[in-house]
Amino acid sequence: MGIDWSEEIERRIEWCDRLVVLISEDSVASEMVQAEVRRAHRLRGAVGHSKILPIRVAYMGPLGYELDSYIGKLQYALWQSDSDDAHIVAEVLRATKGDVLQSAACPLQDWDATPRDRPEPKADMRLLRDSVDAPGSPLGGDNAFYVPRDADRRIAEFSQGKSRTVVIKGPNQTGKSSLLLRYLAQCQTSGKKVALIDLMTFGAVRRSSFSDFAAQFVQVLIDELDLRGIAVPTFGRALDVTTFLNDGILPRLESALVIAVDEADRVIGSPWQEDFYGALRGWDSNRTHYKKKERWGRLGLAMVIATDPKMLIESGYTSPFNVAPPVTLSGFSRAALDTFNESYNRLLNAADLDRLFELLNGHPYLTPLAFYRLILEETTFSQLCENAASDSGPFSDHLRAKLDLVNDARLREAMREVVDRGTVPNNERRLFYRLEAAGLVQEVDGRIAAGNAVYQRFFKAYL
């Protein structure tokens, strides 16, 4: 009683030598499990071993995109019944001494690229690779429950014609990665090669040296382009990466190339962030440089950010995020809910949709999650509305994950100010930008408010 569990989880994960993660059919979809594994992944031991010991609990299915990027290559143990208890305990104890877990001789189920019925917190970017290997494989836009927005029209236009720089901006869980996925699929259809670099999979980016980050960045690029016989050199500065692309990558390509950087704002806080972003701006400029455009003119960039560009790089002249107006994503409109409802055979009436919109403000993740809860008859509509902000309600896992995002004392104070007074401490814009990027707040007519009524009620009660 009285323990701040978010801070306690942070402290314990940092303290432990090993984090035992139980992978079940339910836990793979948990945002809190993903957050805890994400922390442990970033805090992995200095000697290079993982902090994480995965145990599959009567489950041999896929891990989902984010968990798979962290622990998909780790050896696991398999629990199938009570008779496995002693064996599993012995395996865990043995693994604490540096040995690896031993999995049972049971193959994993083949990963199915078809999107699951349950809404996912982040688009599964592996679908892009699958579409390369098997043209015509379903992407996010082929989902019967997908509701297109104006951003989809703009992205479709950008995928055609000459190479360009595209910036997709929006708060957390507004569909940025999903929109990027569709953009890249359309670029492929128009004959361009694409290379996706998701910085979410890079671990603790801010703690990496530029040399380590750049080597990983370039290695992923080489792998995405299926290039062979290229040794990755040591990069001391951003200009070295530009030179490597100019001499070692671009001459090998016959078609136009789009390099996509998902979660590009994860670089924020590193001592070399401005050098990296400045290099991206340089690549954009090289496209029109009279001496360089022959080689660089076919290179396009696509970057996904949640943070206001002012936080990413101070100099507007060297920022890659202001070369063109960004494609900005926000929540669903009320009219979009009618379209969404049609996909579910008019599950709700007009009054219910009005109430749902008032509750969630068209949140692109919580809205389909609400329909998912209702269609499975996990709750009634009145119960969903009544318990929406409860830590044991239909959105409890999501809300705990959001609370976990503000475990920093200043962010907690700022969020408390938002729900109590409609402002942030001392009107500090950087605090607002951080909360906005997390999808927690919005600015309406000069007033800062929680992103929706559920967040307002939840944070009012728990902060």
Which residues touch 412 (CB under 8 Å, ≥6 apart)?
406, 463
Which residue matches tokens 């078809």?
Answer: 114
Look up residue 271 and give its two tokens.
């001592």
For residue 435, give every residue at least 6 positions away whose Cβ sits within 8 Å of its Cβ, in sequence order, or none: 406, 411, 414, 415, 418, 424, 441
For residue 136, pLDDT over 50 is answered with no
In angstroms, the Cα distances linking 330 to 263, 271, 402, 424 are 17, 31, 17, 21
- The predicted-structure confidence for 101-131, as pLDDT tens digits, reads as follows 766 545 445 444 333 467 888 877 777 766 5
DSSP code of 76?
-
Report residue 412 CA to chain centroid gap. 22
Alpha helices, H only, 17-84: 31-42, 65-71
Single-letter amino acid, residue 166? V
Confidence of residue 97 (pLDDT cuts 50, 70, 90): confident
Q: Identify residue 403 by its one-letter amino acid code.
A: L
Give me the percent of the chain exceeding a pLDDT of 90: 57
Q: Cα–chain-centroid distance for residue 448?
A: 25
Q: What is the pLDDT of residues 367-413, one digit of tens each?
A: 999 998 998 888 899 999 999 999 889 999 999 999 988 888 899 99
Q: For 358-375, write each residue's pLDDT tens digit.
A: 999 999 999 999 998 998
Structure confidence by residue, pLDDT tens digits, 23-76: 998 899 899 999 899 888 877 754 455 689 999 999 998 888 889 988 888 889
pLDDT digits (tens, 9 = 90+) for 175-190: 999 899 989 999 998 9
Q: With bands split at pLDDT 50, 70 and 90, how would you rate the model's confidence at 141? A: very low
Predicted pLDDT at 117: 66
- pLDDT confidence of residue 2: 73
Whether the model clears a pTM of 0.75, i.e. scores above it, the answer is yes
Would the pLDDT of 351 be above 80?
yes
Measured CA to CA, the distance from residue 190 to residue 50 in angstroms comes to 41
CA distances 124 to 65, 111, 116, 379, 398, Å, are 5, 12, 10, 27, 18
